[in-house]
Amino acid sequence: MTIDTLEPKAIFRHFAALAAIPRASGKEAAARAYVLEQASRLGLEAIQDSAGNVVIRKPASPGRESAPMAALQSHLDMVCEKNEGTAHDFDVDPIQLVVDGDWLKAAGTTLGADNGVGVASALAVLESADIAHGPLEFVFTIDEEVGLAGASDFTPGLLRSKYFLNLDGEEEGTLCIGCAGGLNTVARRTFALKPAGAGAAWRVKVAGLAGGHSGIDIEKGRGNALRILGRVLEALGAEIAEIHGGSKRNAIPREAWAVIVSESELAGKIAALEAEVKAELGAFDPRVRIELQTADRPAQVLDGGAAIARLLACQHHGVLAMSPDVPGLVQTSTNLATIDTVGGAVEIATSQRSAIEASKQAAGRMVSAIFHLAGFDTEQGGGYPGWKPEPESGIVKLSQAVHADVLGETPRLVAMHAGLECGVIGEKHSGMEMISFGPHIIDVHSPSERLKISSVAPFWKFLKALLERL
């Protein structure tokens, strides 16, 4: 089976086209051009705002002209992650799609179903001639995966819609009606360099972790490569020449490595530490491994680099509080995301999330305080608001009824511990009623990301029916 045989054909056709277009955050120009090309082909009005977001307007079907306008929204960019050893350049190479039973995945990279399947679905509606819909707006934002930047810069007042349908949901049988806000905290410190001491040079690497989305997957108990590496380096007591790990602020780091110099025998210690970590993570992250390889001897090491090891070992990561109102929902969390060194300059990036603004800010202050104790300066930014649930709104009630009518079950109402653009765009266009939904996608933001093929047809059936009932 290949992707061109999958149903609904219109969605999978556009998804395959998008998979062939490199579209990392900040590099969505070609994907935007593809969307604009579809609007031009159909003779529809298209607007590009100053940030690079796109709005396309489609008139109502005959007889539906008086219906309230609705917006379908999705983001053009994708998280670009790949497995070690995968030869893939996200700036030029297409995503290699693989059909594996009921799952669509990629060969060693992220799939981009987040949010390529939303874009593809919107384009399928855009070109459809058999949906009896009211007037529609199609909103395609950029830079969602780097702090909802495109939505944050979205032109206020541009939209005319009463209803806002975000197509960035990832769990079948649910309707999302709220999400957390976010904040980035970045720490920096410059260390003096000193000549490397006696001993051999080694590359210590933590790998094999599942990673995942720092909001959706934060409560799953998965390992954090930076914290594990800090623990290893602290136990080894070696000199540190450089250290790197993680790739995105909104992804749980899967890999991290350091170049060290040590006179001690390390193989036995590494084996013991790996056994400890494996036992602690258990089934949460069973493939974790700690590797030790010889490295080219560095001329210099970080003076006082042990402070980095201690910091990584103790900096918070994971759930800070659960919601007292929504069972099973994470309320506040923090993600220890990336670390990089250039010479003596060290930069560590983290992100905090919470449905409560005061809790989000408190988490940021807590993380900053720990960085300050280790001699780091901090900078905070990239903040965005949450989306307050309105379970009694008209769009929620209607969506539940339509879902029950066409799919035979009332969808579960959920809120997400992740950033959705609903809160940001809703703040600029007050009064819109909002809902978020989508087909089933798992392990987003990691090379294990995959789309459940059999969930796409019900999602499409529901979307078409909802548009006809609005």
Pick from 19, 20, 51, 52: which is nearest to 36 by CA? 52
pLDDT of residue 31: 98
In the chain, CATH 3.30.70.1150 sits at 183-384
Instruction: Tell which residue, 273, 280, 363, has the closest CA to residue 318.
Output: 363
pLDDT score recorded for residue 366? 98
Q: What is the pLDDT of residue 459?
A: 98
- C-beta atoms surrounding 348 within 10 Å: 28
Other CB atoms within a 10 A radius of the CB of residue 122 amount to: 26
**What's the CA gap between 141 and 438, in Å, rounded?**
17
Q: What is the mean pLDDT of each run of 10 residues along the chain (470 residues)?
A: 92 98 97 98 97 98 97 97 92 97 97 97 97 98 91 95 96 94 96 96 97 92 98 96 93 96 94 97 97 96 96 96 86 97 97 92 97 97 86 95 98 90 91 96 92 98 98
The CATH number for 183-384, chosen from 3.30.70.1150, 3.30.470.20, 1.10.1040.50, 3.55.40.20, is 3.30.70.1150
Q: What is the pLDDT of residue 388?
A: 84
User: What residue spans in the chain does CATH classification 3.40.630.10 cover?
Assistant: 3-180+386-469
pTM (predicted TM-score)? 0.78
Check residue 247 and give its pLDDT.
Answer: 87
3-state SS, 201-233, equals: EEEEEEECCCCCECCCCCCCCCCCHHHHHHHHH
DSSP state of 401: H
- pLDDT score of 92: 97
CATH class (in words) of the domain with range 3-180+386-469? alpha beta
Known catalytic residues are 77, 144
CB 377: neighbour CB atoms within 10 A? 12
